[in-house]
Each structure stands twice: as C-alpha cells, then as structure tokens.
C-alpha cells in the first residue's frame, strides 16, 4: 500500500526518521516515492493502523490516492473506486500562511466528484478523504489519526510519582521507535527515573526492564507503570553493573543525567557515559539498537568506541541545552 504520513513540524528530520524506524520495527521494508518538509509518501506492507498506534511525531497516517495539481486530483477522483460507506472531504493546508488560499473551489469540485459515487456525511463519515496542500497537492484516505492528547495526558506532572526532569512523552515515544523496539521483545532503560520512556515502550507491547541508582526512583517508576497496567522487571543498579541482572536485551533507550539538575552521584559526565556505553555494549544483543539522548557531541565519540553510530538528530532546547538524539547499533 502507498501510505502518506503528515508529520509534525516541530523538528526538521526526527519525525521522518521515526516513521522509517517504526516500519522497520514492524518487520517491513519501504520505498519512498515523494517527500517534502511535512509530508512523506512511501510504499510498504506495514499496517497503517498499527503505525498510527506507535508514532509520536506524526499527525495522520493515510492511504495515498493521488498527487499533483488540483485539476490532476480531480481527474484522479473520477477514477477512484466507490468507498464502503459514507464520506467527508476535509482540507489541510500545510503551506506558510502568506502562500495559503481558501481552496474552497478545488475542494468543492473534488467533493462533488466523490459525491457522485459515495454518500456524504460531514458529521460522522465512515471514510475521511483528505485534500492536503504543501509544495504539491495530495488526495488521501485517512487510516489513522495519532491521539496527540494522550501524550499530553502522560506528561510527567500527570503521573502518580513525578520528578520535573523528564522527556515529553511524544519524544520518549520517538526514541522508543528509533530503537526499532518490537512488541514482545526485551527493552531496557538503565536510567529509568520516573519511567517515562518505559511507559511509552510498554504501551506498544515491549517487555520492560529498567534500572536506576536510586531506590526511590525504582519504587516511583513501578508505581507509574502499574498505573498504566504495565508489568516490568525493575532493579536498583549502577549502570556499570546492569549485566549482573540482565543477560541481553533487544533494545536500549535512555535519557541519562546531564549533570545539571539531575544527579550523577558526583561522577564526572565523561566517566559516567564511558562506563554506560561499555555496559550497553555488553548486554545489547547483536543487531540490537540503542537510542540515547546526549547533551554534547563529545559523548557521541565515546559511544562510537563501543557501538556503531547510525543516526544523529539535533534539538535545541534552550540557550544552554542542545539535545542530540543518537541511534547506535551493536554489530
């Protein structure tokens, strides 16, 4: 099936990378056919509904029907098979505001064409056809809408136990997907804190393992996971000793201390990260992925001494903090 992904515009490259990693995690190949800043069109056998359940930095997953000028989309609409049930045609304009127009004329013409073969229900349609305008125009059939409000409901201050230091759930989910996390496979966060990353991995079906140097965090993390009915194996451990509790894992995702507001137990960051990468390489299975957030490019080089760097995505948080979302693979 040819799928169209409407990506969030909050980061230039991370949403696209998440989509591709997610497809790989589901065990499918893909072939990209079109793309622009917030649109990705590709061929894949991955189920769009499952992708919609997983993705954090995407708005919609659609079946791609046609691309081109409005007149070309009109021609494509005339050739579409009748859909099962009622339809509604919605407009989505992704262009910069100065470039936008009402688009009502084209919307009405395409809507009229589709109405010739499908009953129209604007309130509760069985099918939502989407007319999307970017650098190009696209006609698509909505397959999945990402529940963005659910990510907000899982923010750190909404959990039973919380600490102010935590990734936003949609970025935690993106990290989980970048690590090619699969349902039923073992997943480790060795700096689990309050459990934000583990929650996102658990909600897509991973077998959860987590550790932290502080017993308080282990107990709080357990409380948070149980509030989402998620089972886990949690243990108190220094990051250098996780192999004493874990033989091997399929993927590792973590957001380690940066040495500012979060604690490093007074250990110098370079030492902590070096011991961490060494420990990760010991327990990460061959072919497994590590997705990690690092505060400095220098620590990426440390990671490359133990694992192969696959991807890096930079995110400026504020003047004194830039995050580097890094993906490593164990060969």
Q: Which pLDDT does position 104 carry in this prediction?
A: 80
pLDDT over 90 at 98, yes or no: no
Closest CA to 77 of 103, 109, 105: 109
Q: Which pLDDT does position 97 carry in this prediction?
A: 87
Q: Are residues 71 and 99 in the same domain?
A: yes
Token pair in block for residue 85: 């049930």
Q: Are residues 29 and 102 in the same domain?
A: yes
Instruction: Give DSSP secondary structure letters for 84-149.
Output: SS-EEEEEEE-S-GGG----HHHHHHHHHHHHTTS-B-SSS-SEEEEEEESSSEEEEEEEEE--HH
Query: Cα 118 vs. chain centroid, distance in angstroms?
Result: 34
Q: Are residues 175 and 57 in the same domain?
A: no
Calculate mean pLDDT across residues 117-139: 97
pLDDT tens per residue across span 279-295: 999 999 999 999 999 99
Range of the domain at 192: 149-329
Q: Are residues 137 and 157 in the same domain?
A: no
pLDDT over 60 at 303, yes or no: yes
Q: Which pLDDT does position 158 carry in this prediction?
A: 93
Q: Are residues 93 and 224 in the same domain?
A: no
Token pair in block for residue 219: 């107990």
pLDDT over 70 at 77, yes or no: yes
Confidence of residue 99 (pLDDT cuts 50, 70, 90): confident
Q: Are residues 174 and 120 in the same domain?
A: no
Q: Are residues 174 and 315 in the same domain?
A: yes
Q: Are residues 304 and 172 in the same domain?
A: yes
Q: Are residues 226 and 265 in the same domain?
A: yes
- Which stretch of DSSP H or E encloses residue 74? helix 70-78
Find the range with the poorest average confidence among 58-62, 222-226, 268-272.
268-272
For residue 237, the domain's CATH number is 3.40.50.150
Question: Phi/psi zone of residue 196: left (φ > 0), alpha (ψ -120 to 50 degrees), beta?
Answer: alpha
Calculate mean pLDDT across residues 113-131: 97
Q: Which pLDDT does position 136 carry in this prediction?
A: 96
pLDDT over 80 at 102, yes or no: no
Q: Which of 82, 114, 146 is the last residue of a domain?
A: 146
pLDDT over 50 at 82, yes or no: yes
Q: Are residues 298 and 206 in the same domain?
A: yes
Q: Which of 116, 146, 176 is the last residue of a domain?
A: 146
Confidence of residue 261 (pLDDT cuts 50, 70, 90): very low
Q: Are residues 67 and 132 in the same domain?
A: yes
Q: Which pLDDT does position 260 carry in this prediction?
A: 53
Rg over alpha carbons for the chain, rounded to the nearest Å, is: 22
At residue 76, φ and ψ (nearest 5 deg) are: -65, -40
Higher per-residue confidence, 97 vs 202:
202
Pairing of strands 284-294, 249-254: parallel
Higher per-residue confidence, 277 vs 270:
277
Q: Which pLDDT does position 263 carry in this prediction?
A: 59
3-state class (DSSP) for residue 273: helix
Calculate mean pLDDT across residues 205-220: 97
Token pair in block for residue 223: 């409380």
Q: Which pLDDT does position 165 carry in this prediction?
A: 77
Looking at the structure of the chain, the number of domains it has is: 2
Q: Are residues 243 and 161 in the same domain?
A: yes
Q: Which pLDDT does position 162 carry in this prediction?
A: 84
Q: How many Å apart are CA 212 and CA 283, to the nearest integer?
A: 16
Calculate mean pLDDT across residues 255-269: 74
Confidence of residue 259 (pLDDT cuts 50, 70, 90): low
Say if CB 121 and CB 88 are below 8 A apart.
yes
Q: What percent of the chain has pLDDT over 90?
A: 89
Q: How many Å apart are CA 209 and CA 267, to the nearest integer?
A: 24
Q: Which of 146, 175, 206 is the last residue of a domain?
A: 146
């Amino acid at each position: 099936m040819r799928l169209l992904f409407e990506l969030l515009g909050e980061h230039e490259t991370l949403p696209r990378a998440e989509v591709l990693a997610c497809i790989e995690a589901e065990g499918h190949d893909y072939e990209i056919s079109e793309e622009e800043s917030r649109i990705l069109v590709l061929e894949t056998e991955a189920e769009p509904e499952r992708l919609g359940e997983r993705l954090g930095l995407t708005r919609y997953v659609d079946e791609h029907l046609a691309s081109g000028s409005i007149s070309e989309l009109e021609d494509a609409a005339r050739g579409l098979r009748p859909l099962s049930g009622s339809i509604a045609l919605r407009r989505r304009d992704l262009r910069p505001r100065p470039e936008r127009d009402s688009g009502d004329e084209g919307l009405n013409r395409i809507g009229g064409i589709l109405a010739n073969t499908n009953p129209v229900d604007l309130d509760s349609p069985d099918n939502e056809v989407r007319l999307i305008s970017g650098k190009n125009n696209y006609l698509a059939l909505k397959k999945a809408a990402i529940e963005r409000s659910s990510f907000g409901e899982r923010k750190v201050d909404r959990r039973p136990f919380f600490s102010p230091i935590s990734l936003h759930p949609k970025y935690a989910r993106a990290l989980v997907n970048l690590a090619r996390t699969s349902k039923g496979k073992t997943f480790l966060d060795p700096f689990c804190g309050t459990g934000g990353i583990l929650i996102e991995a658990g909600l897509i079906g991973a077998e959860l393992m987590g550790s932290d140097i502080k017993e308080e965090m282990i107990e709080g993390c357990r409380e948070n996971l149980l509030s989402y009915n998620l089972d886990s194996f949690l243990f108190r451990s220094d990051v250098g000793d996780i192999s004493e509790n874990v033989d091997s894992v399929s993927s590792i995702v973590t957001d380690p201390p940066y040495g500012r507001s979060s604690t490093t137990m007074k250990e110098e960051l370079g030492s902590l990260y070096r011991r961490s990468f060494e420990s990760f390489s010991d327990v990460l299975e061959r072919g497994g992925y590590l997705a990690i957030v690092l505060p400095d490019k220098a620590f990426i080089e440390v990671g490359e001494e133990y694992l192969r760097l696959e991807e890096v995505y930079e995110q400026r948080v504020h003047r004194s903090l830039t995050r580097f979302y890094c993906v490593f693979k164990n060969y």
